[in-house]
Structure 1
Amino acid sequence: MMMDLDMVALFEAELLLCKVGPDQTVAVLSEGQVRADYAQAFLVAAQRLGAPAFHLNLPSVPSVGPLHQVGRTPLAGNRAAIEALKMADIVIDLMGLLFSQEQNEITATGTRMLLVWEPFSVLRDLFPTTDLRRRVEHGETMLGSARELRVTSPHGTDIRYRIGQYPVMTEYGYTDQPGRWDHFPSGFLLTQGDDGAVDGRVVLMPGDIINAFRRYIQSPVTLTVEGGMVTTIEGDGMDAALLRQYMDSFGDPRAYAVSHIGWGLNERANWHHFAATRELDNEIGVHALAFYGNVLFSTGPNTELGGTNDTACHLDMPLRGCSLYLDGQLIVEDGRILPPDMRAPARPVAA
């Protein structure tokens, strides 16, 4: 396999942000031939930093049931592989363990984990910075002390979350703390509403995104939420029908649970990305999840925050032009970040 030196250099810089050095063991986890170039480049990058490294490659398992099932991977039930990963200081996850019991078991031992999934162009263009981390962690402090989160929009969204039962999760693109998971690249934060304590409605409007579909909403959709569950999905266009049919296809009522809520802080992430790329099948869609000022509304599993809902149906729905309040304090106003310590630096004006 030809080695991409630019890829090795970028991954070496990423491992440095993660404080990898000669005293750190790096495990690279992959399946089949998926991201084989990433696996080799990370191993070389670790070697250049003097860090012991090993590659754990598992056979791919054919998918069963609906596509985009989360939390179900070839690592499930493989005790030898799980125990080997626990011995590493950091796991580079090229498989996609998010929402899995295996991820939680591994990070609970103090091993940190970095999910790497996006195309190389996205990794390069959204490479994390220490300033992004600072701004995300400022948001973490504010969100962690709040007890109510409210989201509104001019189109009729008005939903309230009682919060505090679950922790705040930050994603800024690297991890240097024991047991911490992150996604390279990233740039947002989130939490989960208290069990049964999310009520209101969310109105999806044209331009909002359903990440699992790699699709922009074309027609209004109204989701009614009662006691933390989506009880109705209403709309005259195809989007409402797609949502209903997709969620029904899992045959799991927990698919309708409201999951995490948060907002995006990455000023280099582009709302228009899905419309401008041909690499949709190879990415989760960090541009959509992290673009500056979005409100990230999600349904489905909550195991990443310590909950018990492990349904395989997960829908991230980044919303544009919404306002978000913490205990009545306006944090995001119509898609604009208000707290000075969370605002992105101004982009230089071209001469």
Structure 2
Amino acid sequence: MNSEAIDRRAVEVLARQLELCRATPGRPATVLADDATDHALVNTSVHALEQIGAIPRTISIDDLHRSGADPDLTTPEIVVNLLNGYSGTAESLVFSNARMLSVVAPTTGDLRGVVPHVGLSRRVKRGLDLLAAGQELHVSDSRGTDLRIGLKGARRWKHDGLASAPGMVAEWPRGMIGTAPAAGTANGTMVMSPGDIWLPMGWYARSPVTFTIEGGRLAGIEGPRSETDAIRAHLASVGSPSAYRLDAVEIGLLWIDRPRPPALFEPSFADSFGIADRYGHVVIATGDYPTVGIACCLRSATVAVDEVAAVRSGRPQGELAPDVYEQAAHRHPL
């Protein structure tokens, strides 16, 4: 693995994130990987831990399975988990008081444009507090979306990529807040317009499709048959009535630097890493997690909590917007 080239900027970025997670010099750390893990990402993790003065050890899960041996683990202060999608396996191998940073980027190239900053965690917390204090969330846009959902008693969640206390597990790079509508309260319309993104396929919508939602369930789908036939077929294939139930509204807060704003149908942008968490994107999904009915990523929606705008035309507002310090970090990245 040590023969792999090292992306020096990726090392700097991950080292900064580990510092935000309060990794400290002189303490043991563990990197968890398997045969499918990108070798450059393994090397980057080891070098990042060494850069901050931690004492890293790499454990290959596949090597353990082949040998049948149990891992000889020194209690780590922090674990860098590269077993994308296997957090349960990772958690079974480490002590409960270790911080775990699960890197969900599949390659070091996917870390380009990521600028670690504590401001993201602050914005995520403020957004979650805003949802907790609100009575109603209103999603709208100039193209016909007009959806209202109740927040009283609704479930909420967040991702900020920060594992800063013993026992915490965080996915990184992530940045979003989400809520499940209070039962039966979602009513209105949602319009997928050209340039919006169907998830998780990563396809651009080519024609407008209007969804009618009544009492928290899909009640109608209107649009060109080329779009609506595929949507209806997918919903039917899920094989569960929950596919038609509005499950989540999520607001992306992860600021990833780009040399220029993406075009409406930018090649490779729709299926790029972390598209649902991107700054200002609003995802509306049906289903019963982890089974998804449809997931629609609106790129220019307005979201208001009790009629106070939190996102306006795809741009976070107020306490969801970066402060001057976070803005400065992006103007002068690592």
Give me the TM-score of the superposition, normalised by structure 1: 0.72
- Partner-residue secondary structure (3-state), 2:112: helix
Aligned-residue CA RMSD (Å): 4.0
Query: How far apart are residue 146 of structure 1 and its match?
Result: 1.4
Q: Is the aligned partner of 1:339 residue 2:318?
A: yes
Q: Does 1:151 align with 2:139?
A: yes
> What does residue 129 of structure 1 align with?
117
Aligned pair in 2 of structure 1 residues 105, 19: CA closer, same or farther (>3 Å)?
same
In 1, the alpha carbon distance for the partners of 2:233 and 2:91 equals 30
Residue 58 of structure 1 and its aligned partner are, at CA, apart by: 4.2
Mapped partners of 1:162, 1:230: distance in 2: 16
CA 139–24 in structure 1, closer or farther in 2 if over 3 Å, else same: farther
* Whole-angstrom distance in 2 between the partners of 1:25 and 1:147: 46
Q: In the alignment, does 2:312 pair up with 1:324?
A: no
2-structure distance, mates of 1:178, 1:226: 43
Identify which range, 337-346 or 251-260, moves more after superposition.
337-346
The residue identity in structure 2 corresponding to 1:192 is: A
User: Are positions 1:300 and 2:303 aligned together?
Assistant: no
Deviation per residue, 1:217-266 (Å, 9 max, x gap): 11111223334333443321533333333343333333333232132334
- Against the structure 1 CA distance between its residues 8 and 337, is the aligned structure 2 distance closer, same or farther, given a 3 Å change threshold? closer
- Checking the alignment, whether the CA contact within 8 Å between 1:17 and 1:174 is kept in structure 2 is yes
Instruction: Tell whether the 8 Å contact from 2:82 to 2:104 is kept in structure 1 after alignment.
Output: yes
For the residue of structure 1 that corresponds to 2:238, the secondary structure is coil
Deviations, residues 185-239 of structure 1 (Å, cap 9, x unaligned): 2333222222443333211111111231222111111223334333443321533
CA–CA separation in structure 2 for the residues paired with 1:147 and 1:102: 39
Instruction: Indicate how the Cα distance of structure 1 residues 256 and 34 shifts in structure 2: closer, same or farther if over 3 A, else same.
Output: farther
CA distance in 2 between counterparts of 1:104 and 1:167 reads 24
Amino acid at match of 1:122: D
Tell me which of 13, 16, 19 is aligned to 1:13.
16
Q: Is the 8 A contact 1:265 1:344 kept in 2?
A: no
Structure 2: unaligned runs, 5 residues or longer = none
Deviation string 1:27-67 (CA, Å, 9 cap, x unpaired) is: 434443232321232134324444354444445xxxxxxxx
CA deviation string 1:5-41 (max 9, x = no partner): 5133332222112111257654434443232321232
The amino acid of 2:21's aligned partner reads C
Distance 1:156 1:35 in 2: 43
What pairs with 1:53-92 in structure 2 (closer than 5 Å)?
53-58=56-61, 89-92=77-80
Aligned residues: 318
Q: Which runs of 5+ in 1 are unaligned?
A: 60-74, 302-308
The partner residue of 1:36 within 34, 39, 42 is 39
Q: Distance in 1 between matches of 2:89 and 2:189?
A: 34
Matches within 5 A, 1:1-351: 1-6=3-8, 7-22=10-25, 26-58=29-61, 89-97=77-85, 109=96, 111-268=99-256, 272=262, 276=266, 285-286=273-274, 288-301=275-288, 309-311=289-291, 313=292, 316-339=295-318, 342-343=321-322, 345=324
1:88–1:194 distance in 2 versus 1, CA, 3 Å: farther
Q: Verify the 8 A CA contact 1:43 1:53 in the aligned structure 2.
A: yes
Contact (CA 8 Å) 1:149, 1:161: kept in 2 or not?
A: yes
Sequence identity percentage: 24
Task: Decide which structure has the larger Cα Rg and report it.
Answer: 2
Structure 1 residues 248 and 182, CA gap change in structure 2 (3 angstroms): farther
Instruction: Calculate the TM-score normalised by the size of structure 2.
Output: 0.76
Please give the per-residue CA displacement for 1:153-191, whole angstroms capped at 9, x wherever unaligned. Answer: 222222222224355433333331345443322333222
Secondary structure at 2:177 match in 1: strand
Residues 224 and 181 of structure 1, relative CA distance in 2, 3 Å threshold: farther
Aligned pair in 2 of structure 1 residues 217, 248: CA closer, same or farther (>3 Å)? same
Change (3 A) 1:212 1:5: closer
Q: Distance in 2 between matches of 1:90 and 1:8?
A: 16
Write the distance in 1 (CA, Å) between the matches of 2:114 and 2:78: 21
Q: In the aligned structure 2, how far is the partner of 1:101 from the partner of 1:133? A: 24
